[in-house]
């Protein structure tokens, strides 16, 4: 196993734990390359018998503030895709869901949009007062991705998932913990240590039993995410060509409500 996968740094910690740190501070915006590097990293960890759990964390202020809507790479990728094409980023996301070892995400600061989806890929999340989670896609004039249309409801139930999706509301760490999106609530400066402690607590158990139990608790999850991301890709593609999406991106950047025109 390597210690570097693009902007992801891997450190083997005591207690059979691997720390995978995204290093794109302060916002840790994701793109196709980052998710592919994470998936490569996780697949290599699956082959390492000395590692039993993974801590997914980020350097900087935010866990992952979503996609960078101003990037040239994102614009070029959208231009190449037809309406029927599947977003290749979601193929990499599905690879993450197929990995076998428990993942604990340390969510400091913002987990926005696809960054929220990345946090929900993990088995558990540690949160803090500074944590902010939002599926703000409707404010941007399009719809959820990264498998959120499956994973969010699986954790919080249909009613709360609909509330977050249809309002684009942002919730803090305390509410995330209350709703089950955060499994450990701790101080702002302890969110990563809390994730490591939980990972070590899990990793002290029999590794074959851990792998078996995790497979039983997440049956067909990757296949379900694969199915919903096909739909998410299709819906996002045509909506991202609308005037309302352009206005939504501008409005969110300017921190104001969008002036949407149904076009």
pLDDT in tens, the chain (263 residues): 899 999 999 999 999 999 999 999 999 999 999 999 999 999 999 999 999 999 999 999 999 999 987 665 655 555 565 656 799 999 999 999 999 999 999 999 999 999 999 999 999 999 999 999 999 999 999 999 999 999 999 999 999 999 999 999 999 999 999 999 999 999 999 999 999 999 999 999 999 999 999 999 999 999 999 999 999 999 999 999 999 999 999 999 999 999 999 99
CA 101, CA 168: separation in Å to the nearest integer? 31
- 92 assigned to some structural domain: yes
Per-residue pLDDT at 85 = 77
Number of domains in the chain: 1
Classify residue 10: in a domain, yes or no. yes
Contacts 24+ apart (CB under 8 A), 253-256: 253/69
Q: Quick check: is 237 in a domain?
A: no
Domain annotation covers residue 73: yes
| Bridge partners, 126 (sequence order) | 106, 184
pTM: 0.95
Q: Which helix (H) or strand (E) holds 152?
A: helix 148-156
242 assigned to some structural domain: no
pLDDT score of 69: 78
Tokens at 162, concatenated = 């609909």
- Per-residue confidence (pLDDT) for residue 68, from 0 to 100: 87
Within-domain flag for 254: no
Q: What is the CATH number of the domain that holds 167?
A: 3.90.226.10
Q: Determine the pLDDT at residue 72.
A: 57
CA–CA gap between residue 160 and residue 164 (Å, rounded): 6
Domain that holds residue 178: 4-187+206-210
Is 64 exposed, middle or buried, given 0-12, 13-18 or 19+ CB atoms closer than 10 A? buried
Q: How far apart are CA 109 and CA 22, in angstroms?
A: 14
Residue 39 lies in a domain: yes
Is 157 part of a structural domain of the chain?
yes
pLDDT at 80: 60
DSSP conformational letter for 190:
G
How many residues in the chain?
263
Burial of 166 per CB tally in 10 Å (0-12, 13-18, 19+): exposed
Query: What's the CA gap between 109 and 127, in Å, rounded?
Result: 9
pLDDT at 77: 58
CB 46 within 8 A of CB 102: no
Q: With b meaning 16 or more CB within 10 Å and e meaning fewer, what string describes 119-149? A: bbbbbbbbbbebbbbbbbbbbbbbbbbbbbb
Helix crossing, 114-121 with 148-156: angle to 10°?
60
Q: Identify the CA nearest to 92 among candidates 30, 26, 176, 167.
A: 30
């Amino acid at each position: 196993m390597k210690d570097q996968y693009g902007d992801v740094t891997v450190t083997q910690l005591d207690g059979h734990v691997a720390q995978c740190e995204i290093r794109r501070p302060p916002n840790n915006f994701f793109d196709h390359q980052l998710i592919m590097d994470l998936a490569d990293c996780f697949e290599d960890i699956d082959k390492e018998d000395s590692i039993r759990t993974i801590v997914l964390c980020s350097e900087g202020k935010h866990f992952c503030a979503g996609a960078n809507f101003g990037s040239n790479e994102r614009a070029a990728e959208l231009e190449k895709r037809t309406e029927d094409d599947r977003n290749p980023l979601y193929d990499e996301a599905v690879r993450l869901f197929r990995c076998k070892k428990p993942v604990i995400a340390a969510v400091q600061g913002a987990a926005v949009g696809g960054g929220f989806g990345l946090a929900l890929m993990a088995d558990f999340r540690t949160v803090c007062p500074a944590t902010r989670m939002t599926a703000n896609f409707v404010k941007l004039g399009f719809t959820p991705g990264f498998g959120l249309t499956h994973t969010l409801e699986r954790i919080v139930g249909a009613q709360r998932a609909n509330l977050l999706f249809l309002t684009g509301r942002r919730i803090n760490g305390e509410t995330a913990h209350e709703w089950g999106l955060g499994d450990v609530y701790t101080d702002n400066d302890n969110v990563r240590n809390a994730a490591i402690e939980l990972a070590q607590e899990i990793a002290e158990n029999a590794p074959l039993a851990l792998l078996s139990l995790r497979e039983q608790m997440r049956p067909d999850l990757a296949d379900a995410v694969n199915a919903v991301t096909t739909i998410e890709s299709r819906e996002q593609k045509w909506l991202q060509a609308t005037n309302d999406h352009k206005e939504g991106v501008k409005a969110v950047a300017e921190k104001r409500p969008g002036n949407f025109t149904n076009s």
